């Protein structure tokens, strides 16, 4: 089993990282760090450049999370996926047999999340696994 964390360096994600590291350490579980971002639907050379840029951004973001997990003695796996965040998290959770999926929130209202389709809101409705939503600090 594992703990899957959606990570993008946002304030909510940074707070979720701290909680996920603590949880993974207490349960002696692997922490799977997931960054998902789908490139725009373009074709040709521009699409490749977008995909490469997103992979670099994701790799940098997740590297900071790996450093924090390493300092706490928590094993990590990194997943930088060219998919929408929800799809990337659901896929990683299934492949890594996640005990829980952890994500940060942005403090948006439930109505705004429902209309705009926030990642935490979608996960709460689509994930067959438990989802832990961690608010950013006030």
pLDDT, tens digit, 9 for 90 and up, residues 90-104: 999 999 999 999 999
pLDDT, tens digit, 9 for 90 and up, residues 12-21: 899 999 999 9
What percent of the chain lies above the pLDDT cut of 70? 84
Look up the domain containing 49 and give its range: 2-134
Domain count, the chain: 1
pTM of the model: 0.86
For tokens 């899957």, name the residue.
Answer: 4
Biggest distance spanned by C-alpha atoms of the chain = 47
| CATH code of the domain containing 111 | 3.40.50.620
Q: Give, in order, the Cα–Cα distances in Å from 50 to each of 14, 69, 80.
A: 25, 29, 14
Q: Is pLDDT of 58 > 90? A: no
- Of 50-54, 87-91, 113-117, the poorest mean pLDDT is in 113-117
């Amino acid at each position: 089993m594992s703990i899957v964390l959606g990570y993008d360096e946002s304030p909510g994600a940074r707070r979720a990282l701290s909680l996920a590291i603590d949880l993974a350490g207490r349960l002696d579980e692997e922490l799977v760090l997931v960054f998902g971002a789908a490139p725009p639907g373009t074709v040709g050379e521009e699409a490749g450049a977008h995909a490469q840029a997103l992979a670099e951004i994701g790799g940098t973001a997740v590297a900071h999370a790996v450093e924090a997990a390493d300092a706490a003695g928590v094993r990590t796996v990194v997943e930088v996926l060219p998919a929408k965040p929800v799809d990337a998290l659901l896929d990683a959770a299934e492949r890594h047999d996640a005990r829980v999926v952890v994500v940060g929130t942005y403090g948006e209202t439930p109505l705004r999340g429902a209309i705009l389709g926030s990642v935490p809101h979608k996960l709460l409705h689509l994930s067959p696994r438990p989802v832990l939503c961690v608010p950013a600090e006030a």
